[in-house]
Structure 1
Amino acid sequence: MDRKQAQSLIGKMVMIDENQEGRFFGTLIEVIAPPRKTWRGKIEIKAVAELPIFKEEGSIIELESLKYTENEIIECNGSKLSIVDEEIECSYKESLTRATMQRWNELDKEQNKMKRQQHALTSFVSIHGLDLTLQDDYHAARVDIRENEQEQEHVVTYTFKKQRNQYILIDGQNEVLELEGCPFEFEWTHNGKSFIGFYEEAGTFISKDGERYSPKIGAAFSIDKKQFDPYFILRNELEPAALESFEKSLQSHGLTHENIVDCHNALLGQLLNAEGNNTFQGVNFLTFRGKQGVVMVQHHFNRTLHDHSNDEIYDRFEFTTEQGKRAIVTYTNEFSR
């Protein structure tokens, strides 16, 4: 696009191509074209066209942060701008959902292609009489072994200790878990009997049956790893009626809890960093993948916790399918205003 063409597009939608940092839609506000210099465009960002690339640091893979936010005014070189042939009527949030779904579908295609390539390679190995350890039967057996090993390692084992007048648990990697205010469910053995319960206070645990246990230093405890899963924590935080409504909506989309792909639990982060706050609000982002494709769920939450009265709880679940269909489920407890 040259500067003359850009002048005719003022007030219209253009695309901003930031290469590895993604692509965006925005309204062209002004063309800045000083003599004998590269022209620039001033744009108001309206939507996301394509997500940024993944970045890898060692074993960690993350998406680059979004370069621009909704309604942000930017300036960029004219070489980054192009004409938009279609009308962009969705909101910034809706466009971000669509871009995310598009990336999921791309990853699915890559994964399916890789599986076909692995199958072709296995056939090649068989035809040429190469190492039989690459055969499907052997590979499947190794997968079964790994899955069994993982099932046996579904818990984290801790040792009970006291450090600077604080009671703590330490795992095999010397990671410390402070017990004061810890919400996790623990399992322990005492006098040959197994118990499940919670930490109470002053180095004392209480089982679900109401039996208190004051362990000696060095006593062993374990935690089921699923308790560290953000989605598991989110489900446990919901009121029974809210969870039931959520599960019914999942079923109507052909989904169960097993179809969860990713869970961003913003509420958990707020609760862990509460520091005296009793009001929490925000959005959790959940991604599911089923036979009907990808479904994004935005869980809008509002919590006001009270010491001497009932808590006020509000939940709204917004379902969006990759076909663009939306459904909303709302829950409010009787104590909310």
Structure 2
Amino acid sequence: SQSLIKKLEKIERIEIDNEDVSKFNIRFQPSVTPGKVIFEAENLGKAYGDKQVFDHVNFFVQRGEKIALLGQNGQGKTTLAKILAGVTKDYTGSWTLGHNVNIGYFAQNQEEVLDPNKTVLQEAEDAATEETRPRVRDLLGSFLFQGDAVSKKTKVLSGGERNRLALCKLLLRPFNTLIMDEPTNHLDIQSKEIIKLALQNFEGTLIVISHDREFLQGLCDKIFEFRDGQMKEFLGNIDEYLDYRQKESIREVSIEKAKLSEKPEIKEKTEPVKTEPAKNTFISKEQKNLQNKLKKAEEKIADYEAEIAGLEEIFSKTNPTDEELKKYNQLKEELAEIMKEWEEIMGNLE
């Protein structure tokens, strides 16, 4: 749970605090000023097979806004991020990109983005501009890539190392709009503080998905909530939103069961139903199998949440031992793997 993470960070912040991090003076590169409206969506929808994830979504994002995408698991937060980043092309409705908008995208699964045969240094240098190239090694050092670490191939990096490298790459190019999907996953405290401070100083537009309450505090003042197949706008910060939902953590909101309706067949832009009946029947069975896998993955996620809650109860009474911290970190990594498996199942339902 996020309150557990907050406790752990407070324990570790003896070594690294905001004052230390501010000395790095790391900022995003200035970019051209875009138009007043960054994104505008009309009746935007996305379905995976017969499962309508969200539909009839309407919104616009103005220049300089910092918005968090929150809500139940499987309701389209990552999907919307991918649509706006230009990664996902298959959707219903429409959306428009504003004038002079230059997007930097942080994907949740960095192994799908990084070149496995390039070194850390090569990835960073390839992302740099002529102006930022002299800063590459210093920036990598700030994100704990020092000495021989810059010569490691990206295919051998841990999840945290991949995320740190991806953040470095974003800082080396000029963007006026950032879309970030779980940027603090697997991050050490120093890297998390560096990126939060850089984002607070960022004058552009930010759309971020995160389960980290403390990371979002003082960063976002508007929320797009994904709930029961719909997206609604909430004007307020993360603390106000959780008070409204009467939840202690973002994860509690995420694991709530969604009430979804089946996607009406009339919306399918496919061949008429009367053709290929055998194929349609097969797809239906396949989807049922995937739905069962999806349910099992969600049950595993709930089990991990319960175990983390147990640790939180212990840590609320006494400081964690090294063994307990190790167990917590292992739980977090395993939970991330299950979440990845869940996302792959959702993708296969398409």
| TM-score over 0.5 (shorter chain) | no
Greater CA radius of gyration, 1 or 2? 1
Which has the larger share of strand?
Answer: 1
- Coarse TM-score class (shorter-chain normalised): under 0.3
Q: Which has the higher contact order (CA 8 A, sep 6+)?
A: 2
> Taking structure 2 as the reference length, what is the TM-score of the superposition?
0.25
Which has the larger share of helix?
Answer: 2
